[in-house]
Structure 1
Amino acid sequence: MTTAAVTSRVERLASSGIQLIPKEYVRLQEELTNMGNVFEEEKNNEGPQVPTIDLGDIEAEDEAVRERCRNELKKAAMEWGVMHLVNHGISNELINRVKVAGEAFFNSPVEEKEKYANDQASGNLQGYGSKLANSASGQLEWEDYFFHCAFPEDKRDLSIWPKTPEDYIPAASEYAKQLRGLATKILAVLSVGLGLEEGRLEKEVGGIEELILQMKINYYPKCPQPELALGVEAHTDVSSLTFILHNMVPGLQLFYEDKWITAKCVPNSIIMHIGDTIEILSNGKYKSILHRSLVNKDKVRISWAVFCEPPKEKIILKPLPETVSETEPPRYLPRTFAQHIDHKLFRKTGGAVEKNQSTEDNKSPEDNQPREDGKRS
């Protein structure tokens, strides 16, 4: 562990008593829209609101009840690409265990966390880290994180998972296993929504054997100038699906209908994003929404993001034939997942998203070897 590694942690910087953030954390002027007090913004009931989908009836015996639930999910995926999932089948007790374990890790001294530090320079991105500067923007993000593969079991490296608290490994393992089952249910509904067989989309993103779940715990310390900083800058997720828990501190913003909207905190919910992979396969019928994370002066925000990602090289991502027609030609070039990461199809230009452009705008720690560009909200 080097001194430079320790001093680079945002947590240490935030706890140093500074009143002004270093210039490398100050965002560009065009990024500073709708970055007011996040607690006040969350109270705003005017305008569009992120949809809440009750999954309690997703497998109901009554066909009409079942179809109503599935149609609501399909509509949210097409119009928003993000939603709060409630009655999702994962117990509050397990979710609480995951949160308690993650918070306990980040509440440990920085020196203890440094035992799990990743080595971004060598391409080892699993473990404890902070964003490094990159040539794409030059700005840094106000967050530290812990990142690792969570599922399937044979692809995990438990040696880099936190040993304390003791419940971290069993809680995170069981949560990832249950999320994998939820992903199957969601992908089945989205498949049928495109007129495909239930198992089609899951097959196209790797199936039971190849779909990988990556967990990233984002730790956003209190920030003395939250109106100038971002926890995670604007991006779309490269994943198939992303599932997010948080500690009920607001901060997620979505770019919807040409403006930034702050998501409310919905108790006992899991936030789900449609990722670029599903947008590409659906030829744009399902949306991968531009989003970012705000920070605040008063409360630490923590989020637990799990990204369901296809294998990097084995699958060619392109619009499925059933989604293409003379009036709806293919909107995306064929690429492997690795190529999509390298030539990101979605880039932010002020407030807009342009397609089929090369950028380094949306990299997770795992996504961007050897560059580190940590976009995981």
Structure 2
Amino acid sequence: MVTSVAPRVESLASSGIQTIPKEYIRPQEELTNMGNVFEEEKKDEGSQVPTIDLRDIDSEDPEVRERCREELKKAAMDWGVMHLVNHGISDDLMDRVKKAGEAFFNLPVEEKEKYANDQKTGQIQGYGSKLANNTSGQLEWEDYFFHLVYPEDKRDMSIWPKTPADYTELTSVYAKQLRGLATKILSVLSLGLGLEEGRLEEEVGGLEELLLQMKINYYPKCPQPELALGVEAHTDVSALTFILHNMVPGLQLFYKGKWITAKCVPNSIVMHIGDTIEILSNGKYKSILHRGVVNKEKVRISWAVFCEPPKEKIILKPLPETVSETEAAMFPPRTFQQHIQHKLFKKTQDLQAPAK
């Protein structure tokens, strides 16, 4: 067993504190649009995250099929995030996956600690909480469980939860079905760039190398939600990210200069376009800035699956077909690992920059 390196947020939250420790308080400039998330979600005016119905994605009727694919492509170019409905994964499976993840987080903290990760030694899979960034000392109001779920031969089953008993079976089936959905989405996005159907999938590693990493985010109730963030503002480094949640709002997107709270759409999967696809498409598809907010009344849980290219094997850069005399390459060539390092370095530089 790895000893815990920091108090779990769940333990803090259940200790009865009325004020949160200073390392969880975000800087003033991050606290815009941090009203009551339940009120924010109800708002109907202004921009709304698009809902894309995938029922006709493979329709026999070319016109109907094209209309569905065009909507998906438009949402990827305009927002870079969308609610997917009629995506082919059964409501029953999604509910059972969520129940299994919830059951793990309902275990006593001491039980969960048996699966603790050790970020300092590079063992990032397992149960964890955010370590303080040395520069800012900031922490996020969440605990999580992180593990690679696909391809099956790359999984480390020793760190998968043994309780509940059906966790492994359900998560495995869900990961496999998501992998099929990723192929479908990548095909449509390829065609949307005027490429061959299988091109984007090939560019992110294909069936052998594209990794699916699941992160179950557990956001306990927070006594001062207006001062904390569950996850700070970021873009996903992945190719695609698929998210389930327990229907408690908390996802906010930075769209056209404003923070917008995503509505909870029953039986949908939230999908983000990640940096990897933004780079390959030379910025035609967007990787949107987003964050997770917390609340006083309800625990929020989300299941994010990041579809990631292999760290070193592929050079990510705008595909030649997306570059022209009038459209220069917007991104320099980097491996996926170098892209992650670049983002961390840039963030550190931004934090160290003197206040203006």
TM-score, structure 2 as length reference: 0.96
Give the residue type in structure 2 aligned to 1:358.
Answer: K
Alignment of 1:114-193 (within 5 A): 114-193=113-192
Give the residue type in structure 2 aligned to 1:36.
Answer: G
Change in 2 beyond 3 A, CA 1:360/1:51:
farther
Give the residue type in structure 2 aligned to 1:110.
Answer: V
Conserved? CA contact 1:342–1:360, under 8 Å:
no
1:71 Cα deviation after fit: 0.1
Q: CA RMSD in A?
A: 1.3
Alignment of 1:1-377 (within 5 A): 5=5, 8-344=7-343, 358-359=346-347
Change in 2 beyond 3 A, CA 1:242/1:360:
farther
Partner secondary structure for residue 45 of structure 1: coil
Change in 2 beyond 3 A, CA 1:167/1:302:
same
State the alpha-carbon separation in 2 of the partners of residues 224 and 285 from structure 1. 41
Conserved? CA contact 1:343–1:360, under 8 Å:
no
State the alpha-carbon separation in 1 of the partners of residues 134 and 14 from structure 2. 28
Q: Kindly, what percent of the aligned residue pairs are identical?
A: 81
Conserved? CA contact 2:3–2:116, under 8 Å:
no
Conserved? CA contact 2:243–2:303, under 8 Å:
yes
**Structure 2 spans left out of the alignment, 5+ residues:** 350-356
State the alpha-carbon separation in 1 of the partners of residues 118 and 207 from structure 2. 30
1:186 Cα deviation after fit: 0.1
State the alpha-carbon separation in 2 of the partners of residues 85 and 216 from structure 1. 19
1:138 Cα deviation after fit: 1.9
Change in 2 beyond 3 A, CA 1:30/1:57:
same
Runs of 4+ in 1 over 4 A off after TM superposition: 1-4
State the alpha-carbon separation in 2 of the partners of residues 292 and 136 from structure 1. 20
State the alpha-carbon separation in 2 of the partners of residues 38 and 12 from structure 1. 23
- Which whole-Å deviations, capped at 9, do the CAs of 1:282-319 have from their partners, x for residues lacking one? 00000000000000000000000000000011100000
Partner secondary structure for residue 57 of structure 1: coil
State the alpha-carbon separation in 2 of the partners of residues 337 and 321 from structure 1. 18
Partner secondary structure for residue 321 of structure 2: helix
State the alpha-carbon separation in 1 of the partners of residues 346 and 4 from structure 2. 32
Change in 2 beyond 3 A, CA 1:147/1:3:
closer
Partner secondary structure for residue 237 of structure 1: coil
State the alpha-carbon separation in 2 of the partners of residues 2 and 278 from structure 1. 36
Change in 2 beyond 3 A, CA 1:325/1:3:
closer
1:2 Cα deviation after fit: 7.4
State the alpha-carbon separation in 1 of the partners of residues 135 and 155 from structure 2. 31
Change in 2 beyond 3 A, CA 1:136/1:51:
farther
Tell me the equivalent position of 1:350: none
Conserved? CA contact 2:2–2:114, under 8 Å:
no
Change in 2 beyond 3 A, CA 1:325/1:84:
same
Partner secondary structure for residue 244 of structure 2: strand
Number of aligned pairs?
A: 349
1:8 Cα deviation after fit: 1.2
State the alpha-carbon separation in 1 of the partners of residues 316 and 185 from structure 2. 19
1:135 Cα deviation after fit: 2.6
TM-score, structure 1 as length reference: 0.91
1:360 Cα deviation after fit: 5.4
Partner secondary structure for residue 213 of structure 1: strand
Partner secondary structure for residue 94 of structure 2: helix
Conserved? CA contact 2:2–2:113, under 8 Å:
no
Conserved? CA contact 1:240–1:274, under 8 Å:
yes
State the alpha-carbon separation in 1 of the partners of residues 135 and 188 from structure 2. 37
1:86 Cα deviation after fit: 0.1
State the alpha-carbon separation in 1 of the partners of residues 200 and 223 from structure 2. 44
State the alpha-carbon separation in 2 of the partners of residues 67 and 137 from structure 1. 48
Change in 2 beyond 3 A, CA 1:2/1:22:
farther
Give the residue type in structure 2 aligned to 1:251.
Answer: G
Give the residue type in structure 1 aligned to 2:121.
Answer: S
